[in-house]
Structure 1
Amino acid sequence: MFITLALIPIIIANLYEKKLHWYQSISTVAFLLLSFGGIKWHQGIALIIYVVLEVILIKIYYEYRKRANVSWIFYIAVIVAIIPLVIVKITPAVYGGKASIIGFLGISYITFKIVGMIMEIRDGAIKEFKLRQTVEFLLFFPTISSGPIDRYRRFLGDYDKKLPQKKYLDMLEKGVWYIFLGFVYKFFIAYFFGTILLPQVGQNALAHGGISWWLVAYMYVYSMDLFFDFAGYSLFAVGTSYIMGIATPMNFNKPFSAPNIKEFWNRWHMTLSFWFRDYIYMRLVFFIMKKKLIKSKITIANLGYLTLFLIMGFWHGVTWYYIVYGLFHACAIIICDMWLRFKKKHRDQIPSNRFTKMFAVFLTFNIVCFSFLIFSGFLNTMLVHHIMK
């Protein structure tokens, strides 16, 4: 209700082709107070300190980059930017599940934005440091907790652009539709799978133990719950952004219809996968090729996949099932690449028709669902349950 009321002046201003930057800043502060106030006050303090220090870091690196471009300074800036996130992720593993006092909801996604800005400053893509816009970008409240992850230059273009009324009306219509669809996803479909079905299926899977049809059912139910819950939230964030006149990128694009695992990652949590691709995979591959550390392009690509998904696994948490989840996807993409190269070489001998395309989608869907079973940690729960019996 608060968000709906807060959006009304922004809607009116956009309809008159105006931008209320000052009001958006006030709304952001009010939203953060609601989100991080009360019993979460310590998270709010951590957020403020973190953003202040990181903005100072961005400013210092920007001023340095105008005069010089020494690689090790860039690496230090990136390391300093991610140290708080690393501490937050490692602390539960070191201290038996206890959360870090410097952690807060959304630290991962803000960190990704900061690192992206530092890298773009180094590349010369960001020509000017703007304090207010930087803070607005980092604290943009529809996406602060779970994304989608926007890019600074794209965000800034929408933030400063006064939209023609017709174009804004189209965005407003899409925004309302996305919010409605997100509501259906999260509060109906995800509720059905996650709140009604999942506990019952999980109990039966534990009762039967080992590999059973109940475990298979859990795999599918959990996968549906994960998708509709996360996609629903993402639609809320995108819809609210559109209403504010900012076209935040979509996070999902029919991922379960992907014909292979590489295409799946072009459709699933797209802003995160594209961020990892652009800022980790591509830069690692370019560095190895530039330094001529490895000659084989295939080996370089495979090393990039392993590094990328290991980092993604550790980012989710320092537990064996997240790390195995990352390795599983790295191996799946490596095998997918092998198949695509083989298919290209023998294109005249391998059939391609409606059936093979449907089978590819079916196979990819099941591989993804199995990876989500690993990701869920339920196999760990089953193991502990078996030991305790």
Structure 2
Amino acid sequence: MKLTQYGDYFYLYLLFVTFIPAILLGLSGINTKYYGIIASIGMTLLIMGNTLGLKLFLMFLVLEIILIYMYLFIRKKTDNKYVYWLFLFSSMLPVISTKVAGVTQYASYVGFIGLSYLNFKVIQMIIEIYDGRITEIKFMSFIYFIMFFPTLSSGPIDRWKRFEDNLNTKIEKDVYINEYLISGLKKIFIAIGYKFILAYLIDTYWLLKIPDNVTIFNSINYMYAYTLYLFFDFAGYSLFAVGTSYIFGIKTPENFNKPFLSKDMKEFWTRWHISLSRWFGDYIFSRFVLNSMRNKRFKNRFIASHVAQIITMFIMGLWHGLTAYYIIYGLYQGSALVLTDIYQRKSKYYKKHKKENWFQIMQRIITFHIVCFGMLVFSGYLFK
């Protein structure tokens, strides 16, 4: 048996069944950790089924556990950067292998559901062990962090320290009811509306009705339809994951925050796929800028920041896949961020009108269309 996570009503039925013990434990003030581990194992087996993907997942889990604990031990002995780079590269091998295999005939023999999101968790832990932020890892908590089923296939990408702190916090009955149970159920019901109603209607009665032949009109039509479908589908997945996490006593970070109200592309990336953009911002963008300034690689911080934005979004494009339209999408987003920064710093017109309502409305409209064109590139529709 194999299920699609948050993809059909039978899965939702099983999901609500798993809620019952978690809710009873939460109402009793008992930590749901051990039940959550059992539920995560069971749901992972159902989602992956008796497939090669399950075997690859188990292999990934064992190897990454060994890698994490080996580096945790070694880091206490030395902070040698070459040892760090070796372990960091080793931790990246699963996602690198999957992306390379994705453009070959061997794609189905390498990856499994949710590999990228799980791998980001491990990579983040290697980085923070090197930084000295992680000095101890409790085995069962670590297993739960990696296998936590609500975020298995589609994120959001959580951080170890945040997850561990949340896991070890005692939640009183009233707090669980008001801040976890009710809030979690609200998110799940919104997710049902997003994914099973709005995304379904857009896909069925708009997106699938657009002809395959690429014309200007069809492309514009597809651009709007795909952007809205992607948002409601992906935001629906994320809300399901976050809401389910809340039921299990874990406040997984939000992944979307009204992204189409953004006034510029910098703001957009603080509202869209938030966990991914923050991950790339913290572990690629910020570190590149700091390292560049420390080594005086560029004349000033602005140039360092612009190069970092291009590199960060280029890597994000590669992360989605080693195909032309993903790479172009990454470069497009990086260029949009750079041009936004230049415009806001140097334009007298912007500085004069940026606080006026009419100008902010125009900014939102323009930003929405910059986003939509990026999604059209991302969809691959123009590359048929």
TM-score normalised according to structure 1 size: 0.93
2:123 to 95, 110, 115: 115
Given the alignment of the two structures, is residue 103 of structure 1 paired with residue 111 of structure 2, yes or no?
yes
Question: How far 1:348 moved relative to its partner?
Answer: 6.3
1:124 to 124, 129, 132: 132
Q: Deviations along 1:344-368, whole A, 9 cap, x unmatched?
A: x677644641110000000000000
Question: How far 1:71 moved relative to its partner?
Answer: 0.8
Question: How far 1:102 moved relative to its partner?
Answer: 2.6
- The whole-number CA distance in structure 1 between the counterparts of 2:351 and 2:71 is 54
1:252 to 239, 250, 256: 256
SS of the aligned residue for 2:102 comes to: helix
SS of the aligned residue for 1:250 comes to: coil
Corresponding residue number in structure 2 for 1:314: 318
- The whole-number CA distance in structure 1 between the counterparts of 2:36 and 2:351 is 58
2:376 to 350, 355, 373: 373
Q: Deviations along 1:204-260, whole A, 9 cap, x unmatched?
A: x61xx4322x32111000000000000001000000000111100000000000000
- The whole-number CA distance in structure 1 between the counterparts of 2:165 and 2:366 is 40
Q: Deviations along 1:107-163, whole A, 9 cap, x unmatched?
A: 100111001111111111112121111111011000011100000011111112220
Amino-acid identity (%): 39
1:353 to 331, 349, 356: 356
RMSD across aligned C-alpha pairs, in angstroms?
1.4
Given the alignment of the two structures, is residue 57 of structure 1 paired with residue 67 of structure 2, yes or no?
yes
- The whole-number CA distance in structure 1 between the counterparts of 2:350 and 2:280 is 31
Q: Answer whether contact 2:207 2:225 (CA < 8 A) is retained.
A: yes
SS of the aligned residue for 2:75 comes to: helix
Q: Answer whether contact 1:121 1:127 (CA < 8 A) is retained.
A: yes
Query: Taking structure 1 as reference, are residues 71 and 377 closer, same or farther at Cα in structure 2, changes over 3 Å only?
Result: same
- The whole-number CA distance in structure 1 between the counterparts of 2:377 and 2:330 is 10
Corresponding residue number in structure 2 for 1:69: 79
Given the alignment of the two structures, is residue 179 of structure 1 paired with residue 188 of structure 2, yes or no?
yes
Matches within 5 A, 1:210-221: 210-212=215-217, 214-221=218-225
Query: Taking structure 1 as reference, are residues 351 and 190 closer, same or farther at Cα in structure 2, changes over 3 Å only?
Result: closer
- The whole-number CA distance in structure 1 between the counterparts of 2:357 and 2:169 is 45
Corresponding residue number in structure 2 for 1:386: none
Question: How far 1:194 moved relative to its partner?
Answer: 1.4
Question: How far 1:295 moved relative to its partner?
Answer: 2.6
Query: Taking structure 1 as reference, are residues 336 and 351 closer, same or farther at Cα in structure 2, changes over 3 Å only?
Result: closer
Q: Answer whether contact 2:150 2:244 (CA < 8 A) is retained.
A: yes
1:48 to 58, 69, 72: 58
Which segments of 5 or more consecutive residues in structure 2 lack a partner in the other structure? 1-12
- The whole-number CA distance in structure 2 between the counterparts of 1:75 and 1:195 is 47
- The whole-number CA distance in structure 2 between the counterparts of 1:18 and 1:319 is 48
Q: Answer whether contact 2:184 2:243 (CA < 8 A) is retained.
A: yes
Q: Answer whether contact 1:88 1:100 (CA < 8 A) is retained.
A: no
- The whole-number CA distance in structure 1 between the counterparts of 2:79 and 2:202 is 52
Letter in 1 for 2:25: A
SS of the aligned residue for 1:67 comes to: coil
Which segments of 5 or more consecutive residues in structure 1 lack a partner in the other structure? 382-389
Query: In the comparison of the two structures, how many residue pairs are matched?
Result: 371
- The whole-number CA distance in structure 2 between the counterparts of 1:276 and 1:217 is 31
Question: How far 1:298 moved relative to its partner?
Answer: 1.5
Matches within 5 A, 1:128-167: 128-167=136-175
Question: How far 1:280 moved relative to its partner?
Answer: 0.8
Matches within 5 A, 1:282-293: 282-293=286-297
2:92 to 35, 58, 82: 82
